[in-house]
Structure 1
Amino acid sequence: MRRFILGNRAFLTSLFFVVMMQLLVAFSTYCISKLAQSVAHGSLNVGYLFGFVGSLVGVFIPAYLGSIYFERATFDALLRYHDDFERHFLGKACHYHDGNLTQNAKALLSQEAKLTLDDTLLTIYDLTSLIFNVGFNLFVIAWVIDGRILWGYAVGFVLALGVVWLFKNRLSTSATVAQNTRLSVLSALSYAWDNIIIFNTYNHTRHRHKVNDSLAAAKRAVVRAKLIHHVSANLGMLSLMSSALGVTAWLFWQHHHNIAMLAVLVATLPRQIQMLQMCEAIIAYQANLMALSARVDGLLGIFKTPKISLANFIQSDKILVKQTGRVFDLTKLLDNPPRTGRITLVGDNGVGKSCVLLTIKERLYAKSYYLPAKHELCFDNNFGSTGQRLMSEIDELTHDDTPYFCLMNGTLI
């Protein structure tokens, strides 16, 4: 998570403007408090009035700049994740035929990564704004009214965070389960096109069952995660309110004969109510951060996929060279690859012909080119029949700086 935050300049810049925005909000609180004191003493301080109005108008500038840099940061974070994904899996052809890994990787890259990273950055962005808003305003109110009000909020926050911490394991577990079930839904939906368009009753029925089952499981998991999140946040908020409002009520009782102090308390009471609402959001975000941490771990977990050995899937003595009828010698070819000619591999299904091609691709790396029969490789022309696309792809390759090894459909050219 640190890489997507501390290494994201646009996001750090957006947080800077958030802090500037909350400083202006705190200045408005100070001005309205001093303005209330001046009115209570029978005068109207115009300077504080203009300061209050000016701060409310000026706050829109850092708010706008913060939102602009935040939007940039979300795409920068996604690019960083894509780069990490590429850095980890680039050239590891051994994973090409791993169906489960392929579906999870597609779901993570195309949807889950963007969703999780956006939610994470937005939570931190909003949480930073709320913390500085409450902190600056609370400091101003304590400075103008009574420093003991800080103790009420401090004790309340400690109690609230303690309550949320008690739910830590449940929050993380429920978030992980919800993410896994969501990935299952995305995986099931990725097969929708063929099953719906072709409409073979047998396949369509199985597809519908898979989609319905995965959606039902995801619905249960998400509802449970939301329930745990709200219960922990609400219990924490009750702990904070009992402490903060208790101190404020005590201050009203203690100064009920002091008109000037009562005027300040009344003038700042709406801001205190607003601060309590923000405190509720902070506690909710604190619970949300624990869940998001589990989701980010899920994003990064795919990078822990171990490299597999394709040799375990190759039955060397059962793969023959069609031109000579001899057993194909993979080691000899890798040690001394031919520069010209054609080699056609033959053998029964399942003896590892495709794994041989993937092994060659992995070992020769950029010096070879692997063209599967069915693929999603990027070409300029993606139209026409299967045969037309294949001919177009080969023609496109011949006009490019194509490596001298071309691996396709079980044939080494």
Structure 2
Amino acid sequence: MIFQSPLEHHIENVLMFCHKAGLQAKQISDASTLWVNYARALENLQGRKIDGQYQAVNLIVGPHEASAFCRMLSSDALSLLDDRNQDQVISQTCDPHAREKADLLLAAMECLGALSRQHKHLFDLLITDIFLMPSQEARGGSTSSAIGVIWANPKTSYRVPDIVEFLVHELTHHALFIDEHRYGHYDYSVILDQETWAQSALLKTPRPLDKVIHSIIVATEIILFREQCLGHPAAPLVHPPTAKICAQVSQSVESVENQIAALLRQGVTPVSPRVRDLLNQVRDIVTSDRIKKFLRRKPRSMKRSTFQPRARVFANLPAVATILLVIVHQSLVASSAYFLTQTISRYQQDQPYATPLVLYFLSMILPFVPGCVSFITTQHWINAVHRKFCLSMAQAVYGKLEAYRSPDRKAAFDSAISRNAFSTISSYISLAHDFLSLALNSLLSIIVIGVILPAEIALGYVISLVLSGGLVACLSRLVKPLSIDVEQRYSNYGGTLHKAWDNMVLGNSYNSRLWRKEFDANSNAYYAATQRLSVYKQLGNIAIAFASLIPTAYLVYELLVRQGPEAGIIAAIIVNLTRIFHILNSLSALVYEWVEWTSATARLRYLFGFLSPISHDGLPRAPIGTMTINDEPVTDYQTVCDALSERRCGRLTIRGDNGAGKSTLLLAIKQAFPEQTYLLPAAYTQLCWEATHSNLSTGQRARALIEELLTQDAGIQYLLLDEWDANLDQENRRLIDQMLKVISKERVVVEVRH
């Protein structure tokens, strides 16, 4: 409702909501404090404990925890009208795609903030929990009996913009719930009668007036959000096309107003003046000139540039500042040829030439300022993109337990994020800066020279440009696959180099010999690929140099020697001859930069490929060897997860053959209860901790880590430990065993032991 009521109005609604719950508004000083009071008000109203904090929506993926929220949606105490049988729509089964859907929701929430700060601010304030549960009939919903809670069940085929629309849809419902608490929208004793129902704006079926008015407000908000933020989709997946929504909203408003008018004639007032105001506002919006203007034009596709690699690189303030500085720099440089020619011309004609001479000096001196500053902003640009990419790359693998079992994927990830990312991004942005500088230098200079010199000079440049462009097109087809091959081979090579320390520092000749063998294979492949790429590039540069210089050189020779122009023109040409060939050399460099940029773009796409969803076959569903839990045989992982969902404490010990799937079972448990579990793997030295444990022994460190974990994260219900007793002495093993006995009285401890 941001586009229908200002954000300040919604904040006032929340303040009134807190006041009605017995909380004092004078104690609220900022958004965070407002959220705390809002959460307390929800607890008083709904009788539920809210675990979370401001700007951190609680995303519930585990089926056991989600089922508690599901029960909240089974009855609507405020509306009294569950005309869609919501309690029967949501399935209580486990959703195998829950984590993938959760990732889409996280991406959509981030995108919502990028598209509309006000919507994101209201979303952070009103929405406390989103739970995922499957359904064959619906893709999500909200109810007034569970304000702050959204049920989500998006299709995995949905795009991020589609889910952004879903979030705006549900946010609008919750804003209306709060608004109703303040104003009292409906007389429920009247709208219980099905004779008073009207046509919904989205479902196009008769529904109770409260549901229909909700659909009208929601549909209008979607129209405005598309118009202002997202763009109007040609093929939307969540809501109908904008033109269709506008028509359905108009029909729905007319249906509601007819029902209200009929009831008023009977002396009955079904809705409050606030609702009438909202309906009048909707009518004004859908009949406004800007909406009519849209309906007359062809729908365009959703704005997807936010999600493309190049948009991720260029859509930031340092990039804009750099581009503007380069434009200023090259404009000043190009003007120097004009002022120099004017100075010589006036001198030959015995006219005052001091002014163009001073301007020539300024055009040679001043460009250093924007030129140098542009390199400073370029570095800031590189740093900003690299930081955002690293965070996005880390988030892309969060909770991807299937990928955890892939050492090859981990090696490629480590190489990309720790070594390749900065060099690739830095190379791409530096090339963008240099390419823009050269392009503007050539373009602006040839425009100036075309004005002050004969047209044959400009013609020669155009011929050189066409020839060079053709060569670039041919060369790019060869360079692009070679560049990708180099990047992939470097990733493999980097993974080998990453192993150097472990395989060499111990002095084990067997391991060092195998590492050297792997090093030779991957290094030779990488160096051969780079050499092959270099040969193709330089052969292309030689061809481009000839193509750029020969046509203009021939035309200048013809102009000066064969045609014999006037002395003034000859002087102007000779004075600018160095400049002309500098431009032609810049053309060669420009084409070279374009080839390099093509190569860098290929490397960038490879790098940003790590942000794409990870393809996998999923975790195994059963062990491949003998395995027991507390001496009971394990036949499939789902049975174990189902049994764990009923436990609140206890200690379970997994034993089995090597390679049977004991660690995989821990991953399956983590996947089933992602927000309630903590998994401590056998190799945990790279995990980040609050305290420093470098001076502790292995056993002391293990005890300190478990203590820190349970102290800092009280929400852990399942503690999963993979071979915690490996390489421990008897005393430390005994101490940790006692610690786990105490922990298991309040939590579930699942441990893999030999």
Q: TM-score, normalised by structure 1?
A: 0.93
Question: CA 1:292–1:337 in structure 2 vs 1: closer, same or farther (change >3 Å)?
Answer: farther
Aligned-residue offset at 1:180 = 1.8
Q: Structure 1 CA distance, aligned partners of 2:467 and 2:404?
A: 51
Correspondence 1:331 to 2:644: no
Structure 2 residues not aligned, in runs of 5+: 1-308, 724-748
Q: Structure 1 CA distance, aligned partners of 2:565 and 2:465?
A: 30
Q: Structure 2 CA distance, aligned partners of 1:367 and 1:50?
A: 73
Q: Structure 1 CA distance, aligned partners of 2:504 and 2:627?
A: 38
Q: Which has the higher contact order (CA 8 A, sep 6+)?
A: 1
Letter in 2 for 1:338: R
Aligned to 1:285: 593
Aligned to 1:8: 316
Segments of 4+ moved more than 4 angstroms: none
Name whichever structure is richer in helix by fraction. 1
Aligned to 2:544: 236
Aligned to 1:378: 688
Correspondence 1:276 to 2:584: yes
Q: Structure 2 CA distance, aligned partners of 1:317 and 1:225?
A: 48
Q: TM-score, normalised by structure 2?
A: 0.52
Per-residue CA deviations over 1:65-98 (Å, capped at 9, x if unaligned) read 2112111111222123223323422111111120
Q: Which has the higher mean CA deviation after the structures are superposed, 20-29 or 62-71? A: 62-71
**Contact 2:680/2:722 (<8 A) preserved:** yes
Among candidates 660, 674, 690, match of residue 351 of structure 1: 660
Aligned-residue offset at 1:273 = 2.2
**Contact 2:504/2:511 (<8 A) preserved:** no
SS of 1:373 mapped into structure 2: coil
Correspondence 1:133 to 2:441: yes
Letter in 1 for 2:652: I
**Contact 1:233/1:287 (<8 A) preserved:** no
Q: Structure 1 CA distance, aligned partners of 2:711 and 2:455?
A: 77
Q: Which has the higher mean CA deviation after the structures are superposed, 218-227 or 54-63? A: 54-63
**Contact 1:232/1:287 (<8 A) preserved:** no
Q: Structure 2 CA distance, aligned partners of 1:67 and 1:52?
A: 24
Q: Structure 2 CA distance, aligned partners of 1:139 and 1:94?
A: 58
Structure of greater Rg: 2
Question: CA 1:329–1:339 in structure 2 vs 1: closer, same or farther (change >3 Å)?
Answer: farther
Aligned-residue offset at 1:284 = 0.7
Per-residue CA deviations over 1:87-127 (Å, capped at 9, x if unaligned) read 42211111112010000000001111111111111111100
Aligned-residue offset at 1:181 = 1.8
1:12-411 pair list within 5 angstroms: 12-253=320-561, 256-302=564-610, 303=612, 305-311=614-620, 314-315=622-623, 318-322=626-630, 324-327=631-634, 330-335=637-642, 336-375=645-684, 376-379=686-689, 380-383=691-694, 384-402=696-714, 403-409=716-722
Q: Structure 1 CA distance, aligned partners of 2:693 and 2:583?
A: 56
Q: Structure 2 CA distance, aligned partners of 1:277 and 1:363?
A: 62
**Contact 1:237/1:283 (<8 A) preserved:** no
Per-residue CA deviations over 1:19-44 (Å, capped at 9, x if unaligned) read 11000101112111111212222345
Aligned-residue offset at 1:367 = 1.8
Aligned-residue offset at 1:5 = 3.0
Q: Structure 1 CA distance, aligned partners of 2:664 and 2:434?
A: 49
Question: CA 1:249–1:290 in structure 2 vs 1: closer, same or farther (change >3 Å)?
Answer: same
SS of 2:594 mapped into structure 1: helix
Question: CA 1:269–1:318 in structure 2 vs 1: closer, same or farther (change >3 Å)?
Answer: same
Q: Structure 1 CA distance, aligned partners of 2:485 and 2:454?
A: 47
Count of matched residue positions in the alignment of Structure 1 and Structure 2? 411
Aligned to 2:108: none
Per-residue CA deviations over 1:334-368 (Å, capped at 9, x if unaligned) read 34252211111111111211111112212322221
CA RMSD of aligned residues (A): 2.0
**Contact 1:381/1:392 (<8 A) preserved:** no
SS of 2:535 mapped into structure 1: helix
Structure 1 residues not aligned, in runs of 5+: none
Aligned-residue offset at 1:156 = 0.9
SS of 1:365 mapped into structure 2: coil
Q: Structure 1 CA distance, aligned partners of 2:635 and 2:652?
A: 9
Letter in 2 for 1:405: Y
Letter in 2 for 1:412: V
Per-residue CA deviations over 1:144-192 (Å, capped at 9, x if unaligned) read 1123322211121111111121123321122122112211221111111
Q: Which has the higher mean CA deviation after the structures are superposed, 192-201 or 327-336? A: 327-336
